[in-house]
Amino acid sequence: MKILLILLSLILLVGCDKQEVATKPPPQVEITTPLVQDTELFNQYVGHVEATVQVDVQAQVEGELLETFFTEGQEVKKGDLIFTIDKRPFEAQLKKAEGALAESIANLRYAEDVVKRNTKLAKEDYVSKLQYDQYITNVLMSKAAIIQNKADIESAKINISYCNIHAPTDGITGVINIDEGNLITNAEATPLVTLMKISPVYTYFSIPQKDLPHVMELHKKKPLKVIAILNEDYTFEGELDLIDNQVDQKTGSIWLRGIFPNEERMLWPGEYVNIHLLLGLEKDAILLPNQAISLGEKGKYVFIIDEDNVAELRYVETGDIVGDLTLIKKGIEPGEQVVTKGQINLAPKMSVTTKKRKKSAK
């Protein structure tokens, strides 16, 4: 009986072992073929927008602010009347200066007449030399007074012209800092309003000094294109127009500036934008999705799936990242099947089942 029980136990154990030895199916991976196309190469930075011209409009004379001829945020043209200041005090100064001039002209005529009548008498010693010299001095003083009076008149006219404040440039008006009826003084530090010219507009961005030699070399041949991307939705094309004249020793970076037409006024001073500085065109570039590339001890690599669905580890040399794609300089040929998902479970010479990547590389 004991022998029979032992035999039954052995049979059961053998049956269990056969069930456990069932082979696992090969892992499934997602694959794609490289995208081959002409590709613009660029470096990516973060920049900010600034007006090409910013003017703080200040009053040049004291007086009451009488009237404002625009609304805040309005676009004005160069030469537009934007403020008026009470000019009556300066008109009074003008009349006073004109009256002083008339008096000085009359004094000159009288002084010249005195000199004329006393010239012969002075030669005959009927008038003392000292007295005659005084007559000459009176003529010179009258002429000097006339020059001063004319200057006073010109100054009064200039002050009157300053009472009409015109826009010094095309631009968008900001907040009005002084309301009508307030007295403007020469000590006023706050501008009446600030004008921003934003068509064209600048974008400033800094690049590390290691990028500078290549950028300068390309920029000498022709102006480089600059792309500004706002909120990942709006793209604007401009041109690099300035490389600053020194590298910041503290940060090891240097400022560059792009200029954009901004005719639709979509770029606004103070905004942050993503900058793509275009460096050239790569003909027939080989591109792979970024997630296809892994990093190992010996460098970057991908998994290739051959015709027999066997995985091969391939080290690659990469170039620029273009959006969600990476440029492959060496290691991949067009048409090869590259794993984009599931490579974490792979090893060289492992058999797999494949699934085409739903979204093709673009």
14 lies in a domain? no
Question: Is residue 312 located within the same domain as residue 218?
Answer: no
**What are the φ/ψ torsions at residue 38 (nearest 5 degrees)?**
-70, 130
Mean pLDDT along residues 69-73: 95
Report the C-alpha gap between 321 and 37 in whole angstroms. 14
Question: Is residue 138 located within the same domain as residue 256?
Answer: no
Question: Is residue 181 located within the same domain as residue 236?
Answer: no
What pLDDT score was predicted for residue 358?
65
Per the structure, the count of domains in the chain is 4
3 lies in a domain? no
311 lies in a domain? yes
362 lies in a domain? no
Domain CATH number, residue 261: 2.40.30.170
> 185 exposed, middle or buried (CB, 10 Å; 0-12, 13-18, 19+)?
exposed
pLDDT bracket for residue 361 (50, 70, 90)? very low
Question: Is residue 74 located within the same domain as residue 170?
Answer: yes
**Per-residue pLDDT for 16 more than 60?**
no
Provide the pairing of β-strand 28-32 with 353-356: parallel
Domain end among 147, 162, 177:
162
Q: Find tokens 């199916």 and name the residue.
A: 25
Tokens of 298: 């010996």
pLDDT bracket for residue 11 (50, 70, 90)? low
pLDDT bracket for residue 14 (50, 70, 90)? low
**Residue spans of beta strands (DSSP E) within 58-182:** 63-68, 75-76, 81-85, 164-166, 171-173
What pLDDT score was predicted for residue 218?
92
13 lies in a domain? no
Question: Is residue 99 located within the same domain as residue 114?
Answer: yes
DSSP run (H or E) holding 139: helix 129-162
DSSP run (H or E) holding 311: strand 311-315
> In a 3-state reduction of DSSP, which class is residue 265?
coil
8 lies in a domain? no
Question: Is residue 77 located within the same domain as residue 176?
Answer: yes
5 lies in a domain? no
The parent domain of residue 186 ranges over: 59-84+165-190
Q: Report the alpha-carbon angle 274-279-284, nearest 5.
A: 110
Please tell me which residue, 25 or 209, carries the higher pLDDT value.
209
**Per-residue pLDDT for 80 more than 90?**
yes
- For the segment 304-329, what is each residue's pLDDT rounded down to a tens digit? 989 889 999 999 999 888 778 898 98
Question: Is residue 186 located within the same domain as residue 208?
Answer: no
What pLDDT score was predicted for residue 186?
74
pLDDT bracket for residue 236 (50, 70, 90)? very high
Domain CATH number, residue 146: 1.10.287.470
Mean pLDDT along residues 177-200: 89
Cβ neighbors of 131 (< 8 A, separation 6 or more) are 118, 122
- For the segment 37-61, what is each residue's pLDDT rounded down to a tens digit? 888 888 899 999 999 999 999 999 9
What pLDDT score was predicted for residue 9?
55
- Within 10 angstroms of residue 230's Cβ, the number of other Cβ atoms is 16
pTM of the entire predicted model: 0.71
119 lies in a domain? yes
- Residues of the chain with pLDDT > 90, as a percent, come to 62
**Per-residue pLDDT for 8 more than 60?**
no
Report the C-alpha gap between 89 and 354 in whole angstroms. 90
What pLDDT score was predicted for residue 321?
80
**Per-residue pLDDT for 19 more than 70?**
no
What pLDDT score was predicted for residue 187?
59
Closest of 277, 275, 266 to residue 229, by C-alpha: 275
